[in-house]
Amino acid sequence: MNKKWTTLAFASTLILVMLLNFITSDIAISMTERRKLKTFPELTTETLISGDFFEDFEKYAMDQMVYRNPLRNLKALIEYGVFQKYDNNSYFITGGHAFKMDYDKKLQEYKNAAAQIEKVYDRYLTGLKVYHAIIPDKNYFIRNDNKYLFNDYDAMIDTLNAGIIHSTYIDLFGALTLDDYYRSDLHWKQDHLGGVMQALESAMGFETSFDASRYTHETLSPFYGAYHGGLSGLVGADSITYLTNDWVKGAIALHYTENGEITAKDVYDIDAFGGIDGYDLFLSGPTPIVEIQNPANTSGKSLVIFRDSFASSIAPLLLEEYSTVTLVDLRYVSMDLIGEYVDFDCTVTALFITTA
């Protein structure tokens, strides 16, 4: 009888879960995991014969299972609380912050980055003022914790600088602390960039001085960072505070796409905050080339930032100093095409930003 009751309970559970899945509407996007969830696959004779339908249906069933997020959270709690694991699929929590172990960066990557900077200089920037900076990732601030593996940040800096001749290095490592980063994400907070702005002002000889009091602080929430899903919700959601004023509101961000189309947008894309990645609030996320024009600044000075995603949030703060701030992401655009969209005249200053 015990076996019968066990079998009956197991079968009842399966039937109940099946019924709940059947009556529950599918979810298009998982905000906590920052990705689109699988939808019901197309059922055709071809997909049945090839087996694609069954493979896709399995992924669909896993993505759309009822109580999926609570079960993922329970799994993570058991691994951390019961089994005392240091990480969950390379994600871990220390001091209320989420981190990801990323200790396999090769020094060759920084040699390649230095060579690329020199190549861009020779092609477009000869005779112009050129600067470069490395943004420390969050792991830099807990690198002395012996439980985890970390990159050799000193070797990274030395390797990059050793290969660069025509650019001045700006040290940002002392301008940031762990609290300047989101708890659930890898990026820095825009409203905490006073120290970074001071470092840039000092090195690049700005005529203006950053003052956060000249901006209105607007806050949006919840923000589920890139590390939130990897820890199954064990670290809470953040909020994003962005800085705006009349200059920023009056600026126009021209997005140049790969097919040559130009789309004009606001500097802050409020609609993008509700998408898969809330950080896309800043300049609408990844774009090959974005030119921000600020009619209120009549200095005629231009800044070109060769960047990664971190630069999207600091660019609006540079509009007080520059009439035009152009962001170029070499991951999405060929170096040969840059000159068709960016005018490198004598008013241009160039800044290369990379993340450790």
Mean pLDDT within 285-311:
95
**Pair 155, 107: CB distance under 8 Å:** yes
Q: What is the reported pLDDT for 50? A: 77
C-alpha distances in Å from residue 154, one per residue of 54, 157, 194: 50, 5, 24
Q: What is the reported pLDDT for 307? A: 95
Mean pLDDT within 219-236:
88
- What are the pLDDT digits (tens) for 92-139? 999 899 999 887 778 899 999 999 999 999 999 999 999 999 999 999
pTM above 0.85, yes or no: no
> Which residues are registered as beta bridge partners of 135?
355
Question: Whole-angstrom Cα distance, residue 204 to residue 226?
Answer: 32
Q: Which of 68-72, 198-202, 238-242 has the lowest mean pLDDT?
A: 68-72
For residue 319, with 0-12 CB atoms within 10 Å meaning exposed, 13-18 middle and 19 or more buried, which class applies? buried
* Full DSSP string of 49-104: HHSHHHHHHHHHHHHT-TTHHHHHHHHHHIIIIIS--S-BTTEEEETTEEEE----
Which range, 3-7, 11-15, 79-83, 155-159, is most confident?
155-159
Strands 302-306 and 216-223: unpaired
Mean pLDDT of the chain: 88
pLDDT confidence band for 8 (50 / 70 / 90):
confident
Residue 70 pLDDT greater than 90, yes or no: no
Q: What is the reported pLDDT for 81? A: 65
- What are the pLDDT digits (tens) for 252-268? 999 997 677 899 999 99
C-alpha distances in Å from residue 38, one per residue of 27, 43, 73: 9, 14, 20
Question: Whole-angstrom Cα distance, residue 125 to residue 211?
Answer: 30
- Coil, helix or strand at residue 262: strand
176 versus 89: the higher-pLDDT residue is 176
**Pair 274, 148: CB distance under 8 Å:** no
Question: Whole-angstrom Cα distance, residue 185 to residue 263?
Answer: 28
Q: State the residue for tokens 């079960």.
A: 71
Mean pLDDT within 20-37:
66
Mean pLDDT within 286-312:
96
pLDDT confidence band for 20 (50 / 70 / 90):
low
Mean pLDDT within 163-177:
97
Q: What is the reported pLDDT for 73? A: 65
pLDDT confidence band for 22 (50 / 70 / 90):
low
145 versus 316: the higher-pLDDT residue is 316
With the C-alpha atoms ordered 200, 205, 211, 214, is the resulting torsion angle positive or negative? negative
Mean pLDDT within 324-330:
97
Q: Where are the alpha helices (DSSP H) in the chain?
A: 2-23, 45-50, 52-63, 68-77, 107-120, 153-162, 194-204, 246-250, 270-273, 311-314
Q: What is the reported pLDDT for 233? A: 72
Residue 141 pLDDT greater than 70, yes or no: yes
Residue 31 pLDDT greater than 60, yes or no: no
Output b/e per residue, 184-203; b: 16+ Cβ within 10 A.
Answer: bbbbbbbbbbeebbebbeeb
**Pair 191, 217: CB distance under 8 Å:** yes
Q: What is the reported pLDDT for 174? A: 96
Q: What is the reported pLDDT for 34? A: 60
Q: What is the reported pLDDT for 17? A: 60
Q: What is the reported pLDDT for 298? A: 94
